Structure 1
Amino acid sequence: MKMKSLYFLISVFCVHILHSQTLIHHTTNYFGPNANPVPEFTDALIPESTILTLTGDYYFGHGDRTLSNNMKVEIPLIPEKVSVKVWKTLVEYYYVKDEIVSRRSMQKNSGFATGDFYIQTRIKILSEKINRPAFVLNSTLKTASGSDFKNRRFFNTAGYYFDFELGKSLMFSNSFIDEIRLVSDIGFFSWDVQTPNLNVQDDAIVYGLKLILKHKSISLENTFSGYKGWIRRVEDYGNRPIVFSSKLNFNVRKTLWFVQFQYGIKYFPYEQIRLGVQIPLENFTPNFFGKN
């Protein structure tokens, strides 16, 4: 009888150890859509004045529906040459199906969460000329400030990435298309991955291509982007997401309004509809050199 009790205690102890060492997959395939998305990149230009961007997103499909909003501010320290950008998912509401709760080891089907702060420095390395593209370096820090890790909405680890944007415009006269702009992006992305008794970094190559077509006050952006990480624990681990987005912009006076659809091609199990606005804040632009 004593031996049976001993075996029982040992079994309970082993189950507890195995449960406590369950691996959490820090990837887009096992977390919410705002946890570690494919980094966005711009048109390889730095603004002349401060810009506030507000967006509302609806992510759907694949058993997870998420409503969220995002605020982004880019402040040029040296107009068109150096800027600082800060953004954050202010709040998201999510509802997921039972099978997703089980797959991600979540504690509930629905709730609210708030996202991570991102801080980015942007530096123009080369200005665009007739025979060369614009060249912009971005350096970004992702803080571990998001909430609701237990329900797999945001990581509780930090990350960072460096990327280079190259952009070149082709101008046309007497044509329906006024300008075609081509932009490419390449970089390095890294984030902490918590494993039992050990912290590991997942490193990835970031890449992207963008085609921008402009006609007067309207422009269309088509973007293909993704990143490729090195960790592969299970077949669908998913740290190699690929997405495609199409964004339609409307300039109304000095304000830019836009609508975007994004499709998750691989390892990003969401489709996205985004509505947003960019508002110039000229009065909030630093003037370190006393220029008017």
Structure 2
Amino acid sequence: MDKSINPSLSLSILFLLALPLLSFAQDHYWWANNVGWDGQRFWGDYIVRSQRYLGPNALPIPKVFNGRVSNERSFGFSGNSHFSTGDVTHNLALYGTFNLVPDVIGFELYWVPAEYYTMSHAIKTERKTFHVFYNRRWASGDVYLHTIVQLLKAEKNRIDLALRIGYRFPSSNMVGMARYTDATGYYLDLSFGKKILDGPLKVGINGMAGIFVWQINQNAQNQDDAPLFGLGLSFASKNWSLSPSFRGYTGYLNNGDRPLALSFNGQLDLNSRWQLFGGVQKGWNDLLYTSLELGTKYRFPPKVSVHVP
């Protein structure tokens, strides 16, 4: 009886035994060689806190606003997919709108509670990810809060004009995988809306101009500042609306902090309470992703004032 071992079988067994070791080949020495570690600096100092070298939800470009405080109170969620060479990301997004004083002041809340991503070795190397997080696939994003204050109304002026104050709470993780910054940020912008056509089909032009600031927590530089801009159109009928727009910001460090985006968003009212919304976005310059979104929103009934004689 021939008890010799098949050479091919032996090689296969050795490969399977070595596979766990190969999966952890990206160790501290790989990272140190990749970033040129000086033996002292914190690993987070090597990650570039700009849109080009982070995940798609890290430093998103604020959307073009129509210059009008929304009088609705609503809650919504959406599924999002982002595609780029070497990085495919899927995430859940939550939205909330609360009107404090009708036509005067309102609040908006936005959060990505869960993000699943796959990144190639080349992208992980380019973004200088830390080896401890190399095989991670899940992340959670920062919370954004917008305060919107009405300044001018089209009924008395030629345009709607509003001040938007956006603040980012540092609640994200996976900085080591170059997904988020886990640092504060804010933006201020003036947003306007101007009706071009008012009838069964309403057509308008919208725009924004302001500043976008975020902390980068680097030794030599604490923050990056960027002019924020955007321009769009709006088309609306009784139960639907469409809004193409172009927007971006240009950071002064010029280290991948100048993203641009062309987007096309739409909304469809299913009834007085439920609404479907979605959009597609194409990134340019330092925004490397093409993104898709589809979601739904529930609008709470307005408060009814009861007059007591």
Query: The TM-score by the shorter chain falls in which range?
Result: 0.7 to 0.9
Output one character per residue of 1:89-115: Cα deviation in whole Å (capped at 9) or x when no partner. Answer: 111001011100111122425411111
Match of 1:273 in 2: 292
Q: Stretches of 4+ moved more than 3 A in 1?
A: 17-23, 289-292
Match of 1:258 in 2: 277
For the pair 1:119 / 2:145, whether they are aligned, the reply is yes
For the pair 1:231 / 2:250, whether they are aligned, the reply is no
Aligned residue among 107, 115, 126 for 1:92: 115
SS state at 1:102 partner:
helix
SS state at 2:94 partner:
strand
- Name which of structure 1's ranges 84-93 and 211-220 shifts more when overlaid on structure 2: 211-220
SS state at 1:15 partner:
coil
Deviation (angstroms), 1:86: 1.6
Match of 2:86 in 1: 63
- Residue identity opposite 2:176 in structure 1: K
Aligned residue among 245, 251, 256 for 2:263: 245
Aligned residue among 133, 138, 141 for 2:159: 133
Output one character per residue of 1:174-199: Cα deviation in whole Å (capped at 9) or x when no partner. Answer: xxx71111101011111111223x55
SS state at 2:183 partner:
coil
Deviation (angstroms), 1:143: 1.3
Output one character per residue of 1:137-176: Cα deviation in whole Å (capped at 9) or x when no partner. Answer: 0111111110111111110211111111100113355xxx
Q: Is the 8 A contact 1:121 1:140 kept in 2?
A: yes
- Residue identity opposite 1:147 in structure 2: N
* Structure having the higher Rg: 2
TM-score by length of 2: 0.80
Distance change >3 Å, CA 21–CA 112, structure 1 → 2: closer
In structure 2, runs of 5+ residues without a counterpart are 1-36
Match of 2:243 in 1: 221
Alignment: residue pair count: 268
Q: Provide the rounded CA distance (Å) in 1 between the counterparts of 2:142 and 2:307.
A: 35
Q: Provide the rounded CA distance (Å) in 1 between the counterparts of 2:167 and 2:95.
A: 14
RMSD: 2.3
Q: Is the 8 A contact 1:53 1:279 kept in 2?
A: yes
For the pair 1:77 / 2:110, whether they are aligned, the reply is no
Deviation (angstroms), 1:64: 0.7
SS state at 1:229 partner:
coil
SS state at 1:150 partner:
helix
Distance change >3 Å, CA 25–CA 116, structure 1 → 2: same
Distance change >3 Å, CA 211–CA 114, structure 1 → 2: same
Q: Provide the rounded CA distance (Å) in 2 between the counterparts of 1:276 and 1:80.
A: 26
Aligned residue among 45, 65, 76 for 2:68: 45
Q: Provide the rounded CA distance (Å) in 2 between the counterparts of 1:69 and 1:44.
A: 27
Distance change >3 Å, CA 290–CA 144, structure 1 → 2: farther
In structure 1, runs of 5+ residues without a counterpart are 1-13
For the pair 1:206 / 2:228, whether they are aligned, the reply is yes
- Residue identity opposite 1:15 in structure 2: D
Q: Provide the rounded CA distance (Å) in 1 between the counterparts of 2:290 and 2:307.
A: 45
Aligned residue among 13, 23, 26 for 2:46: 23
Q: Is the 8 A contact 2:64 2:206 kept in 1?
A: no
Q: Provide the rounded CA distance (Å) in 2 between the counterparts of 1:147 and 1:212.
A: 36
More strand per residue: 1 or 2?
1
Distance change >3 Å, CA 18–CA 141, structure 1 → 2: closer
Match of 1:104 in 2: 127
Deviation (angstroms), 1:278: 2.3
Q: Is the 8 A contact 1:134 1:166 kept in 2?
A: yes
Deviation (angstroms), 1:259: 2.2
- Residue identity opposite 1:276 in structure 2: G
Seq. identity, %: 24
Q: Is the 8 A contact 1:97 1:109 kept in 2?
A: no
Output one character per residue of 1:10-69: Cα deviation in whole Å (capped at 9) or x when no partner. Answer: xxxx83136758532111111100000111233222222202121110001221111001
Match of 1:167 in 2: 193
Q: Provide the rounded CA distance (Å) in 2 between the counterparts of 1:115 and 1:129.
A: 39
